[in-house]
Chains A and B, each alone.
Chain A
Amino acid sequence: MSTPKILIIDDEALIQEVVQGCFEDLAGWSVITANSGQDGLDQALAKKPDAIALDIIMPGMDGITLLQHLKANPVTQDIPVILLTIATGFTDRISYAELGAIGAISKPFDPINLVEQVADFLGWTLDLKEKCP
């Protein structure tokens, strides 16, 4: 399998930066980023990523709306989506599965955990490039 391509959609630039760092540096995945819902939808349609890491709370089009758009579009409906969430209890109230996501991860996240969970959700084999000494 070629290097998986993963789209990170988050309005928080710093979050986006560290998540990208984890994916690229630890997992060796290829990363594309979007900093708003609309941007993310456009990128998803254009770049057809292998997976999408989606922040739920965003100004403008929020993550839930974007997810519905993705699932409604045949082009993107099969792209697995993992929700990045801060809202604790969110997962209790609305099942991410009902929304069509394959998983949800609460911030803040440990980089290794994050990568492992994402790989686990996606069923990818993870070859950690940099490990703790």
Chain B
Amino acid sequence: MSHPLTESNHQEAPRLQALYQYQILDTESEAAFDELTQLAAQICQTPIAIVVLIDRERQWFKSKVGLAISETPRNVSFCNHTILQAKPLIVQDALTDARFATNPYVTGDPKIRFYAGVALTTPSGYRIGTLCVVDYVPRQLDIAQIKALQALSHQVVSQLELRRNLKALQENERRLSTLMGNLPGYVYQVANDLNYTPEFISEGVFAVTGYHQAEYLVDRTITCGQEIHPDDSQPIWQQIQQAVKSRQPYECEYRIITKTGAEKWVWERGRGVYESNGELLRLEGFVTDISVRKAAKLRLHQKAQQEHLMRVVTEHIRQSLDLDEILTTTVSEVRQVLQADRVLIFRLESDGSGNVVQESVDAHWQPILGQNLFDPCFQSSYIDKYFQGRVHATHDIDDGSIQPCYAEFLKQFGVRANLVVPIIQSGCLWGLLIAHQCAHPRQWSEEEAQLLKQLADQVAIAIHQSSLYKQAQNELKERIQAEAKIRDQAMLLNVATDAIIVRDLDQHITFWNQGAERLYGWSSEEMLGKATALWCRDSAGLQEICQTVLARGEWQGELTQLTKDQKDVMVASRWTLVRHPNGQPKAFLIVNTDITQKTLLERQFLRAQRLETIGTLAGGVAHDLNNVLAPILMSVSLLEMQPDSSKRQKWLDVIDASARRGASLVKQVLTFARGIEGERSQLEIRHLTCEIKQVIEETFPKSINIFTHIPNHLSMVMGDVTQIHQILMNLCLNARDAMPNGGMLRITAENQVIDADNINLPLGAQPGSYVAITVADTGTGIAADAIDRIFDPFFTTKEMGKGTGLGLSTVMTIIKSHNGFMTVSSQIGNGTEFKVYLPALQDGETQEPVAPKVPYGAGEWILLADDEAAIREATKTMLEAHGYRVLTASNGIEAIALYSRHQDDIRLAVVNIMMPAMNGTTAIRTLQAINPYLKIVATSGLTTNDTLIEMGIKVDHFLLKPFIAQELIISLHQVLNS
């Protein structure tokens, strides 16, 4: 027989779904169903009664009476026919019914002949099975039996429904229990009283409050109100009452105190439960522990605040270069964020004290801004620790964790707790950023310490930026000034009549101003970049000047040069060595002043004055000429008259002698008149006075006696012979004129040393060795009122036509040009004495007057190691004054450290042998190990060079202390140039 699926086939799937909802298939037998089956069998008087549930391929018996099997295939099922119809299916005799006559359960065991079934119809209309009765014999059911069977089928369905609902309820309960057990919190039902007296509370309460469920519900030792933080209790009550009144749910966060006394944050959501009459029954809701979240949130908030602070500070640093403003902002913001009583910036000084340079302080506490504080505990060891970045947090100064002296120090400012971080700027401990808590101790958190540390780093950046800015500002200012100066100077250079030339060391011209163009005639375009010195007549002399400038840094003198038109030009030339900032020679700056006209005028003037001198000599010359001519003329006459040869020779001799004398006289006068000037040479005053004496003896009145005395040991002077002549001649002429009636003219000379404390010297006289030449007369003397004016040009006491008044003025000019000076003393009636002082050449100078006394360095770096600060400083100053640059070390270790840093620069080391820390011998060995070619000069007061050699130390030079500056300079020069 085919599967009897009918027109309701399409309903099979929902039917099966409805069946499965009951979760009844293959379950154990249940009394409730069995009672109904037995009732059906009794009512219908059948041996068999079954509750059948039709599955997809089978029919399963939930409950059965009179049958052993629990299921049969669906395709041979009577019940499958029953569920196709709403009314009961009654088969009175299966053998006579075509549908079932061949059914194996009819033809075979249990040999069914009668069947009556009623469908089990679910409330939603699905027929999921049957309640049926079966008999082995054909029979009938009456109406009442059928109705009873139908009623019973309804009971089966009810029972199924009940069973299913119970199952669902149990599942819900299980789920709720599982849920509550796994909730991160607890649910509650409490009375709406101030204690929130608990009616129900889930087990999760233990995890939150630390109290067991039983303590709330059984022991009643705790209520939900007691655990709330006292500070939060009132606001929470008000919030809940408000919500209840408006029948709204409530949600709140508050703190509780757990059984262990800890503070926790909880979140609660709940609502009122009301009677139908609107009366409030209880509160129910859920509470969960949000401490972790709250802490995270707090941290987040703090972090945000700190980030804000960092942003404010860094922004300030970026926007402002005003350090004060930055520091002010920093301390006030930090104090706000840390909620500290005082935040300050402490600038450390080298002596361990420091200044409070910025402060933000709560109004309750004494400000300490601007105070210089000295912390007796703050020793160098602390500095080192801070320098290494240590952050020092004191939670309570009274807990014994810090030194008593430090605690005392802090107490004077009311400090109870502090947090100190270093401000390290450019590798130095610049100062400290400090937070104070004054009223009570304080646990500083790691975050706070870190924040302060980061801020200190920002402050350091600000300080650095600010100092860079200041430096840049200064440099800018200096540069602007320098540029302005250069502009001004450049203008001046071109305005200057002087020729200004710059030549580099290779003699290339790098600057040629308009003055040079005017003086020489070559334009700057013609000259720039050329390695030429067209204007120099004496290239060997030029070389010599260059060498001098390189050695001494400068040179000045007078030169005769050439213009483009091949004309001579006299210049006063001043040379200066221009150095690189590192001290290396860079160029020659040459300033040449045209003194051609000046020189010519000066020469003309001097010559004119000399001619005047000769004029005043004329009387004497006339006398002399007569004395010369008279014998000649007379001899000639006598020769004419005396042909006798015996006497002729005599007159010829007289003529000869007289003529010679005349020639000599003329020569002397001419020498004086035509004198060649401008050439300085070493002079012996003795020779000069002899010549002068000769002239004046010839030409002065015989009434004037001439006395000269020149000692043998008289020093030489450097001078222009013609000009010195002129001085003496002028003075002698004045002496002669002062003695119209004759007298004594005295010319003497002596060596004289002028001390600085000699108060009788005229202004401008320099101390030193001089040759003093005295010209004294016994004449009329000079009146006191005239004596101050005698050196004025054109001042004269002589009659008209006897003198121009230029004599002494000329004398003064010449003496000054020889770096000398003159004194005069006079008494009316007793005569006048002039004393001319000319600088004496020293014995050494007489040999090589141009050689510099002490050689100069050329900016070489010298490493000077000496433990004696005074010697070190004095030597440094002296070396620097002689053109060296000096690095100093006070012991061997410093010397090595300096050398290793400046290896490339240091040319020579001056090392004292006896030194602490690392002595000189070790230092020298180490230096030589670093650079075997380093030049070394050893100095010592105790060791000798032999000792050093015995120790196996070889140095370039050894100086025994005490040595004079010159010795060191000379030995440095020699060693450096060896």
Contacts and interface: CB of A to CB of B under 8 A. Distances in A.
Interface of A: 11-12, 14-15, 17-19, 21-22, 25-26, 57-60, 62, 86-88, 107-112, 114, 130-133
B742 A15 contact: no
A62 B702 contact: yes
B623 A111 contact: no
Q: How large is the interface on B (under 10, 10 to 19, 20 to 34, 35 or more residues)?
A: 20 to 34
Nearest to A58: B702
Contacts of A21: 634-635, 638, 647, 650-651
Given A57-B623, A87-B623, A18 B640 contact: no
A57 B703 CA distance: 7
B642 A25 contact: yes
Contact of B637 (A14, A58, A62, A112): A112
Contacts of A14: 627, 630-631, 654, 657-658, 661
Interface string B656-685: 011001000000000000000000000000
A86 B627 contact: yes
Nearest to A85: B626
Interface of B: 622-623, 626-627, 629-631, 633-635, 637-638, 640-643, 647, 650-651, 654, 657-658, 661, 701-703, 705, 742
B633 A110 contact: yes
Contacts of A11: 702
| Chain A binding surface, main DSSP class | loop
Contacts of B703: 57, 59, 62
Contact of B630 (A57, A59, A109, A112): A109
Contact of A12 (B627, B637, B647, B705): B627
A17 B626 contact: no
Given A26-B641, A131-B641, 16 more contacts: A14-B657, A14-B658, A21-B634, A21-B647, A21-B650, A25-B641, A25-B647, A59-B703, A60-B702, A62-B702, A62-B742, A88-B622, A110-B634, A112-B641, A132-B640, A133-B643
Given A18-B635, A25-B638, A131-B641, A59 B702 contact: yes
Contacts of A12: 627, 631
Given A59-B705, A62-B703, A108-B626, A17 B641 contact: no
17 contacts: A17-B650, A18-B630, A21-B635, A25-B647, A58-B702, A59-B703, A62-B703, A62-B742, A86-B622, A86-B626, A86-B627, A87-B623, A107-B626, A107-B627, A111-B634, A111-B637, A131-B641
A91 to B, nearest CB: 15
A108 to B, nearest CB: 4
Given A25-B638, A107-B626, A131-B641, A17 B702 contact: no
A14 B635 CA distance: 10
A133 to B, nearest CB: 7
B637 A110 contact: yes
Contacts of B641: 25-26, 111-112, 130-132
B626 A57 contact: no
Contact of B638 (A18, A107, A131): A18
A1 B631 CA distance: 30
Contacts of B643: 133
B311 to A, nearest CB: 111
B738 to A, nearest CB: 18
Nearest to B661: A14
* Residue of A18, A58, A111 with most chain B CB atoms under a 10 A cut-off: A18
A22 B702 contact: no
Contacts of A25: 638, 641-642, 647
A114 B638 CA distance: 12
Nearest to B741: A62
7 tightest A-B CB contacts, nearest first: A108-B630, A14-B631, A18-B634, A86-B626, A59-B702, A111-B637, A107-B630
